[in-house]
Amino acid sequence: EPAGQTILPRPHAGVRIYPDRIVYGRNLPLRPCLSCRRRPPTSRAESAEMLSLSRSIGRRCLSRFGQSALHRSCSSTAVVDQEPPKILITGGLGQLGRGLASRLRARYGRSSVILTDILKPTAAVVKDGPYRFADILDFKLLQEMIVNERITWMFHFSALLSAVGEQNTALALRVNIEGLHNVMELAKQYDLRLFVPSTIGAFGPTSPRNPTPDLTVQKPSTIYGVSKVHAELMGEYYHRKFGLDFRCLRLPGVISADTAPGGGTTDYAVHIFHEAIRNRAYKCYLREDTRLPMIYIDDCLRAMVEVMECDPRLLKQRVYNLQAISFTPAELAKEIRRHMSNFQITYEPDFRQQIADTWPQVLDDSRARADWGWKHLVDTPDLVELMLQYLSHHYEFNAGRVAN
Ligand X SMILES: NC(=O)c1ccc[n+]([C@@H]2O[C@H](COP(=O)([O-])OP(=O)(O)OC[C@H]3O[C@@H](n4cnc5c(N)ncnc54)[C@H](O)[C@@H]3O)[C@@H](O)[C@H]2O)c1
Residue 304's SS3 state is helix
Residue 117 binds which of ligand THR, ligand X, none (CB < 5-8 A, kind-dependent): ligand X
Spatial distance between the Cα atoms of 178 and 137, rounded to a whole number of angstroms:
7
Q: Which is nearer to ligand X, 268 or 343 (CB)?
A: 268
201-to-133, 164, 230, 264, 379 alpha-carbon distances in Å = 28, 13, 12, 10, 22
Instruction: Tell me the residue length of the chain.
Output: 404
Q: State in angstroms the smallest separation of the CB of 285 from ligand THR.
A: 12
Active site includes 285?
A: no
Spatial distance between the Cα atoms of 319 and 330, rounded to a whole number of angstroms:
31
Cβ pair 69, 55 in contact under 8 A: no
Spatial distance between the Cα atoms of 151 and 86, rounded to a whole number of angstroms:
5
57-to-49, 52, 74, 177, 395 alpha-carbon distances in Å = 12, 9, 8, 46, 50
Sheet holding 292-296, edge to edge: 253-255, 292-296, 325-327
Q: Which is nearer to ligand THR, 146 or 234 (CB)?
A: 234
Q: By rule CB under 6 A, what count of residues binds ligand THR?
A: 10
Residue 212 binds to ligand X (criterion: CB under 6 A): no
68-to-38, 124, 244, 371 alpha-carbon distances in Å = 16, 38, 23, 6
Strands 253-255 and 292-296: parallel
What lies within 8 Å, CB to CB, of 380 at 6+ separation is 325, 327, 331, 332, 335
Which positions from 266 through 285 interact with ligand THR, judged by CB under 6 A? 266
Q: State in angstroms the smallest separation of the CB of 217 from ligand X.
A: 19
Candidates 94, 121, 201, 204; binder of ligand THR (CB under 6 A) is: 201
Candidates 254, 333, 378, 387; binder of ligand X (CB under 6 A) is: 254
Q: State in angstroms the smallest separation of the CB of 260 from ligand THR.
A: 12
Residue 129 binds which of ligand X, ligand THR, none (CB < 5-8 A, kind-dependent): none
Contact letters for ligand THR, residues 220-249 (x by CB under 6 A): ----x-------------------------
Residue 173 binds to ligand X (criterion: CB under 6 A): no
Residue 383 binds which of ligand THR, ligand X, none (CB < 5-8 A, kind-dependent): none
Q: What is the CA radius of gyration of the chain?
A: 21
Q: Which is nearer to ligand X, 199 or 361 (CB)?
A: 199
Candidates 115, 145, 161, 362; binder of ligand THR (CB under 6 A) is: 161
Q: State in angstroms the smallest separation of the CB of 336 from ligand THR.
A: 20
Candidates 199, 207, 221, 323; binder of ligand THR (CB under 6 A) is: 199
Q: Which amino acid is at 247?
A: R
Spatial distance between the Cα atoms of 332 and 83, rounded to a whole number of angstroms:
44
Binding piece for ligand X, criterion CB under 6 A, among 36-44, 68-76, 133-141, 238-246: 133-141
Q: State in angstroms the smallest separation of the CB of 162 from ligand X.
A: 8
Q: Summarize as ranges the residues that interact with ligand X (CB under 6 A).
A: 90-91, 93-97, 117-119, 135-137, 157-159, 161, 175, 197, 199, 251, 253-254, 261-264, 266
Q: Which residues are the active-site residues?
A: 224
